[in-house]
Amino acid sequence: MGRQPCCDKVGLKKGPWTAEEDKKLVNFILTNGQCCWRAVPKLAGLLRCGKSCRLRWTNYLRPDLKRGLLSESEEKLVIELHSRLGNRWSKIASHLPGRTDNEIKNHWNTHIKKKLRKMGIDPITHKPISSTDEHHQKEEQQQEQPDVVADEHGRSENMSLLQCLQGQEEEKGVTGSSDFMETDTLLQKSPDFCTDEVPMIEPHEIILPCAPTTSFSTSMPSSGYSSGSSVKAEEIQFPCMEWPETTYLCGMDDFSQWDLISSDGDGTLGLDPLNQYQRIAWDRESWN
């Protein structure tokens, strides 16, 4: 009847992941792909529960993750989406490739909330903060149940916020408003746009940039990060395995950071996932 329990939680490790554990998990997933998370820790030789493994992979180890602070346009998109969706972080994250719900949630709580309050905007209702008691009472009620206010186009209620944001940018002389317009247009054209629905890019269509992307430049220490010439992804041979559908190469612009490439001497880039992973992805030490 039913399934076996996820984990008995006895003798399982908790707390921060070690580099060794990361290595095991990444090795396992790169070799086998994402399968039943419950089975992962056992098969990968980890004393963690499957849930913990899934979280570690999706929030930290996935190769398609962008690192570093959200860009100006990403932040605007988050605000816009939050005004429509409320605290549905996974939905919001699905609109931002390479970002996780956890990351967005953290960024919202630590940065955006403050920013909006500073601007006189209630981060919950996305409306200008009113000094009237009546409004304040409403806000408190809404705090219990985040207000998802939107007309059929999902636009009208947050226009003041959007205008305010744009106004602020202009005041600062920031030229990011074009990004903003792109975001806005995208959402207008396709309110239900979601990266889940975006078809996978064929390997030959991917060109890894020679210069660090914005996201990477903010997250990678300049000293430890350098990327030579553009490398077409098709030139990189991944092991014969099924990549999870959410795994693609966005943001993976420096494979030299990965010690997956075996030096077989014939000039081809092969992978040896079983033994080669000394510098577990993004070398945590150099990142921090």
13 vs 138 by CB, closer to DNA:
13
Span 16-75, contacts to DNA by CB under 7 A: 16-17, 36-38, 48, 50-52, 54-56, 59-60, 69
Task: Determine contact, residues 166/180, Cβ cutoff 8 Å.
Answer: yes
The residues pairing with 128 across neighbouring beta strands, listed in sequence order, are: 121
The H or E element spanning position 80 is helix 72-85
Query: What distance in Å separates the CA atoms of residue 195 and residue 198, rounded to the nearest whole number?
Result: 5
Rounded to a whole number of angstroms, the minimum distance from the CB of residue 273 to DNA is 21
Rounded to a whole number of angstroms, the minimum distance from the CB of residue 69 to DNA is 6
Q: Residue 65 corresponds to which tokens in the numbers above?
A: 């993750």
Query: What distance in Å separates the CA atoms of residue 249 and residue 102, rounded to the nearest whole number?
Result: 20
Asked if residue 284 binds DNA (CB under 7 A), the reply is no
2 vs 265 by CB, closer to DNA:
2
DSSP state letters, 149-205? ---TTS-GGGHHHHHHHHHHHHHHT--THHHHHHHHHHHHH-TT--GGGSPPPPGGG
Task: Determine contact, residues 50/13, Cβ cutoff 8 Å.
Answer: no
Asked if residue 11 binds DNA (CB under 7 A), the reply is no
- Per-residue contact flags (x/-) with DNA for residues 120 to 159, judged by CB under 7 A: --------------------------x-------------
Rounded to a whole number of angstroms, the minimum distance from the CB of residue 60 to DNA is 5
75 vs 233 by CB, closer to DNA:
75
Q: Which of 20, 43, 90, 286 binds DNA (CB under 7 A)?
A: 90
Asked if residue 91 binds DNA (CB under 7 A), the reply is yes
Judged by CB under 7 A, how many residues of this single chain contact DNA? Answer: 41
Task: Determine contact, residues 203/234, Cβ cutoff 8 Å.
Answer: yes
Using the rule CB under 7 A, give the single segment among 74-82, 102-110, 264-272, 273-281 that binds DNA: 102-110
Rounded to a whole number of angstroms, the minimum distance from the CB of residue 18 to DNA is 8
Rounded to a whole number of angstroms, the minimum distance from the CB of residue 265 to DNA is 36
Using the rule CB under 7 A, give the single segment among 106-114, 133-141, 173-181, 264-272 that binds DNA: 106-114
Query: What distance in Å separates the CA atoms of residue 159 and residue 175, rounded to the nearest whole number?
Result: 20
Query: What distance in Å separates the CA atoms of residue 270 and residue 262, rounded to the nearest whole number?
Result: 5
Q: Which of 1, 153, 197, 223 binds DNA (CB under 7 A)?
A: 1
The residues pairing with 207 across neighbouring beta strands, listed in sequence order, are: 232
The closest of 257, 275, 263, 278 to 65, measured between CA atoms, is 257
56 vs 127 by CB, closer to DNA:
56
Task: Determine contact, residues 160/127, Cβ cutoff 8 Å.
Answer: yes
Rounded to a whole number of angstroms, the minimum distance from the CB of residue 121 to DNA is 17
Query: What distance in Å separates the CA atoms of residue 148 and residue 151, rounded to the nearest whole number?
Result: 10
Query: What does the DSSP 8-state code read for residue 20?
Result: H
Q: Which of 74, 75, 101, 253 binds DNA (CB under 7 A)?
A: 101
Residues lying near DNA in the complex (CB under 7 A) are found at 1-6, 13-17, 36-38, 48, 50-52, 54-56, 59-60, 69, 87-91, 101-103, 105-107, 109-111, 114, 146, 288
